Structures are given as C-alpha cells and as structure tokens.
Chain A
Amino acid sequence: MIEEVATTEQGDLVINIGPQHPATHGVLHLVITLNGETIKKVEPHLGYIHRSIEKMCESLSYRQFIYVTSRMDYLSSHINNHACAMLVEKGMQIEIPERAQYIRVIMDELTRIASHQLWWGAMGMDIGAFTPFFLAFREREMINSIMEETCGARLTMNYMVPGGVMADIHPNFCRTVKEFITHFKSKIDEYDTLLTGNVIFQNRMKGVGILSKEDAISFGCSGPVARASGVKCDIRKLYPYEVYDKVNFEEILATEGDSFARYNVRLLEMRESMRIIEQLIDNIPEGDIQAKTKAVLKLPKGEFYTRIETARGEFGIYVVSEGGTTPYRIKFRSPGFSNLSALDHMVRGQKLGDMVAIMGTLDLVIPDIDR
C-alpha cells in the first residue's frame, strides 16, 4: 500500500537541510516538513553530484570504465573495481589464478574495515561526539598506508583488472596486515567502550527509526540496513564468489531493526572481516597474479549482471553488450539508492535529532546514489 502523502497544514514548517552541510555524507538536500519538532515528511532532492557516469561509460572501453566506479562509492573503491572485473571475466569466461583471488578478497575485507571505521567516526560526529572522528581516522590511516605500499594510491586505487590484479603485493604486505590486525583488535574494544556502552548514545539510538522486515524487502534495502531487520542478504553467503566459500565467517543478523541494531551489525562485521583476513593472510598461494587476456576486450552479444557485497549493501552492474569494445548500456545498481528510499518511511513521527541519528546509521555516500 502506498501511504497517504502527508499534507501540509497550517502551522507546519518546511525547512531545508543541505546541500552543503558538514561533509560527512556528501551533497544531499532534504526538504523536511515539521510540525513543531516532529517530522511529518522528508523529501530527498538528489542530483547535486550527478556526473552522468552511465552515459560516459558508453564511450569507454571495458578496461577504461573501471576507474569510474572507484569514484562512485569511494569508500569501497576496491570492491567496486572488483565488481567490474568480475563482470568482464564472467562475460568473456576468463578464469583467474588463485593467488589473485586471495589477494582480491583480502583487499576487499580491508576496504570494508576502512569504510566501517570512517562510518563509525562520522556517526560519532553526527551524534555530537568529536573524539571518535579522530580515533577512526588514526586507524584508517594504517589501512591507507598498507594500500599505498601495494596499490600506489590511498583512496581510489585501480588495482583490480579483468584477469586478476595489476601488480603483486609488496613484500611487507603480510607483516603489516598482521600488525594492523593485532593493533585493531584492541582498539575495537576501545570503540565499544566509548560509544556502544555509552548511556547517552544508547538512549539516542535504541528504538529510533525502526524498519520492519517486510518493509526492508519492499524498499529493496540491502547490506547492514537490511540485515539489522532480519533479512538474509549477504551476497558473500548467497552467491559466493572468489574464495568466500572456503572461509568460515558468519552473517550478522539482528531482529530489532532500529538504529542501535544497525550500529551493532556494522561493528560486528568489522570483527568478522578481521577473522576472514586472518584465515587468508598466511595461506596466499604462489602463482601468477593475472591471467592472460587479449589486449582489446570485447564482451559477446548479450546481457550480463554481477553482484557484489560492498560495505553498504548489494552493488550490481547490468551491462547490455552488442559485441563491441564499449558497452551499449550499463546500469549501476547502487545500494544507497534503495536504502535512501526507506528514509521517509523510517522518520515519520520522530524528532529532528532522531533523523540525524537515522541518517548516520544508513551510511549513505551520495555520489553512489547520484552516479
């Protein structure tokens, strides 16, 4: 059922938030109809960072369009590149060597931890605590240095190519990753002490922004947002790719569906990611890092769809190919687009301060939504 669109009555206040507001989420413009301090309706206005990526990719070759996906969801840039490489490999039936698969999964999980760290810092800052911001960035810099040694860049690294990875890992890689894990295990307990167990924080998050399971499925939510409402949607478990079927890890589910559940799901996901890395880091097999591919890649005529689990949810790429060197039509199914459509439903009847907490737990990255 479509809910009744809330009508504006006398005495309602319509205010704007954004598009320029503290740069944690990006440029999102929200038009909020308030009755006192209770929210009646929230309308997101998007498009302030719409860079026409889908049109641009129709003139880029299959090796070139990978760099653009890094810039879409820049906090999971490795994972987005991974999806592009998987798409081309699926279309052209390329098998990648096992060493490349291990390296790809380790890089993915490190990116997931880095993205959740930044989310945690920004979440704290939204609620009003400034210390988590600095602590989160302190740990995130360690991951950035690891990435820089191997991939050459800190934020947008075009490391995954169709066929494998671009360069071999640095000789220090295993040692620095293991040091990072030992260091971070003690720090994540510090995170729990600072925010999770904090009475003020819990009062602001518990019972706020409840999303039921049916609504999460109907709105197309994925990732931690849906898992906190009880929907099993982890792509790593449902449609395993690379070496995810060989590692032991759990899918974190919660049932309450409120902001505190989404928060806890992400913190536990960081621990699971560390568990995956620990199982893989000592067992990277020797071998090639890139399968032999032709210089000019051409996908056969037809349609292909790959999906991958980013830090935000299910990221999918749908490509229609006419047999040429460039895609005929490419569509990026971004997780934030569907997660944002559930915002209006979640905040009705809550206060303005609660809306900030809910938006923090949705973990939106606006360039991912606008493409």
Chain B
Amino acid sequence: MDVNPKAPAPFPGEVIQTPGGGILVSRMDQVINWARSNSLWPLVFGTSCCAIEMMSTAAAKYDWSRFGFEVARATPRQADVIIIAGTIVNKMAPVLKRLYDQMAEPKYVIAMGACATSGGPFFYNTYSVVKGADHIIPVDVYIAGCPPRPEALIHAMLSLQEKIKSGMTREQIKMEKPEQSF
C-alpha cells in the first residue's frame, strides 16, 4: 500500500490513494488472506514437555485439523507456521534460526508455553537457556502456561488466523498503523 513514487511531478493537486489499494486489489487481498489463514501447515518442532500437549492437540479429542492445520510437515520447506513448543537452549538456537530461514514466505511463529516466551521456569541461575525464543526469531503469538492446555493452543492458532485475515504485518501492528481492507 505504498504511495506510487512514479506519479508525474507537474500534476495539479495531490494524489490520494485509496487505503488498501483499489477495489480489485483489496478484494483479492481479502480472498488471499482468507485462504492463507485457513490452511496453515505447522512444522513439527517440539523440544520438551509442550510437545506432548501439541501432540494432544493433534490427536482426536482436541483436533486441530478442523481449523486447517491438517498436515504437520516434518520439513521446513513445506511448512507455514512453526510452533516452538519447548525450551530453546544455546545449542539449539542456531538450529532454530536455520529452520526459520529455510521456511518460505509468508511464515509465522507461535511461541508456545512459558519457556519459549521468556525462559519460563528456567530463567534464574541457568547458564544454557535462551530466555525467550524471540531473541532468535520474531514471534507472532505468545501462549502462556506450563504447559498450556490444548484449548489455549487452539485459541492461539485462531488468533493467528485473525491476524492473517486482517492483513496487518507485525511491524504495522506494533506501530499501530492499521491498513485494513475492511
């Protein structure tokens, strides 16, 4: 939604762009965002206890495939969202960065549990824990809990879906400059 820099200089008056682009582009944006949010494939990335609650969410009682997260891929090349379930330690940090870099745009990150949010129960007096996964990669949604219930994880996934549908990037939400198309 940039102002077109190639507007001819001696034009009388000023060009006011429709926020969100023209009518065709904004409708297409809505459809694309809707499609993206309803078919996010998570990457299988569980380091410790939160991985068990993630597996419970994938199983039959709290099924996450109802919301489109049907196929959990093992390779980052085919995944859309990485759910960091568990503690990140110094030795694992480069691996996480490499996985994130290997994912294709648009990619999203959910930090599940207290350990991925801020180091969690391992915050004080540890020499090897990274105090929060957002020291390594940018995070979209944080979930509290140790471990969070499967319902909390599903709530986080739905919040991520809403965030995608609204069309705002992380930076835009931070600076509170919404350029919503609806």
Contacts and interface: CB of A to CB of B under 8 A. Distances in A.
Interface stretch (B4-12, B30-38, B56-64, B155-163): B56-64
A67 B147 CA distance: 12
A20 B45 contact: yes
A48 B92 contact: yes
Given A22-B74, A68-B121, A141-B56, A74 B92 contact: no
B66 interface: no
Nearest to B127: A52
Nearest to A56: B125
Interface of A is mostly: loop
A138 B56 CA distance: 9
Given A55-B125, A156-B49, A23 B91 contact: no
B59 A138 contact: yes
Contacts of B99: 20
A156 B147 contact: yes
A240 interface: no
Contact of B91 (A50, A58, A137, A154): A50
Interface in A49-104: 49-53, 55-56, 58-59, 67-68, 71, 74-75
Contacts of B46: 23, 26
A53 B126 CA distance: 7
Contacts, number: 104
A336 interface: no
B53 A47 contact: no
Nearest to B46: A23
Interface in B115-166: 121-122, 124-129, 146-147, 149
B103 interface: no
B128 A51 contact: yes
Contact of A51 (B53, B56, B60, B89): B89
A154 B149 contact: yes
B168 interface: no
Interface of B is mostly: loop
B125 A118 contact: no
B149 to A, nearest CB: 7
B167 interface: no
Contacts of B52: 74-75, 118, 155
Interface in B23-46: 44-46
Contacts of A53: 122
Contacts of B47: 26-27, 48-49, 367
A141 B128 CA distance: 33
Centre residue among A20, A59, A74, A154 by max chain B CB count within 10 A: A20
B49 A27 contact: no
A49 B51 contact: no
Interface in A9-48: 19-24, 26-27, 47-48
Contacts of A55: 125-127
Interface in B66-110: 74, 85-87, 89, 91-92, 95, 99
Contact of B59 (A48, A68, A75, A137): A137
Contacts of B122: 51-53, 56
Contacts of B111: none
Centre residue among B47, B56, B124 by max chain A CB count within 10 A: B47
A133 interface: yes
Contacts of A140: 56
A281 to B, nearest CB: 24
Contact of B51 (A26, A137, A138): A26
A134 interface: yes
19 contacts: A19-B92, A20-B95, A21-B44, A23-B46, A23-B51, A23-B54, A26-B46, A48-B89, A49-B48, A51-B122, A53-B122, A58-B125, A59-B124, A67-B121, A134-B60, A137-B60, A141-B61, A144-B56, A156-B147
Interface of A: 19-24, 26-27, 47-53, 55-56, 58-59, 67-68, 71, 74-75, 118, 133-134, 137-138, 140-141, 144, 154-156, 366-367
Interface of B: 44-49, 51-56, 59-61, 74, 85-87, 89, 91-92, 95, 99, 121-122, 124-129, 146-147, 149
Given A23-B51, A27-B47, 10 more contacts: A47-B91, A48-B89, A49-B47, A55-B125, A56-B122, A137-B56, A138-B61, A141-B59, A141-B61, A156-B146
